[in-house]
Amino acid sequence: AKITFITKDQEEIIVEATSGSVMELAVKNNVTGIDGDCGGVCSCATCHVQVDPSHVSKTGEASEIEQDMLELDDDANEYSRLCCQLQITDAMDGVVLNVVK
Ligand code: FES
């Protein structure tokens, strides 16, 4: 799937992968603002992104654990996801993710 990250500085980073988590993909491609400090176990929120509102159907809903974690983040909104919890699938092709930090 092709995935577009838009950093806080409006830099557009387009990358492609077939599996793994979106966080791992972002870290591998040095996407600014995605740190993945906890290694992808949904406990640090340094992988916070906001899904383009028209692309929510590509990513599905956040799990309860993920939502609990996001609640602690003041910048979270209804489009927020922790991208270590997003597994890359074909369904995600073309998704645009705004990096929050
Ligand atoms: Fe820590 Fe996603 S990498 S919550």
Taking every pair of C-alpha atoms in the chain, what is the biggest distance, in angstroms?
Answer: 32
Query: Could you state, in order of their start, the residue ranges of all structural domains in the chain?
Result: 2-99
pLDDT digits (tens, 9 = 90+) for 5-17: 999 999 999 999 9
pLDDT digits (tens, 9 = 90+) for 39-78: 999 999 999 999 999 999 999 999 999 999 999 999 999 9
ipTM of model: 0.99
Q: What is the pTM of this model?
A: 0.96
The closest residue, in CA terms, to atom 4 on ligand 1 is 42
Ligand 1 atom nearest the C-alpha of 48 is 2
**pLDDT the model gives residue 15:** 98
- Give residue 83 CA to ligand 1 midpoint distance, Å: 7
For the chain, report the end-to-end CA distance as a whole number of angstroms. 24
- Give residue 33 CA to ligand 1 midpoint distance, Å: 12
- Give residue 38 CA to ligand 1 midpoint distance, Å: 5
Q: Name the CATH topology of 2-99.
A: Ubiquitin-like (UB roll) (3.10.20)
**pLDDT the model gives residue 83:** 98
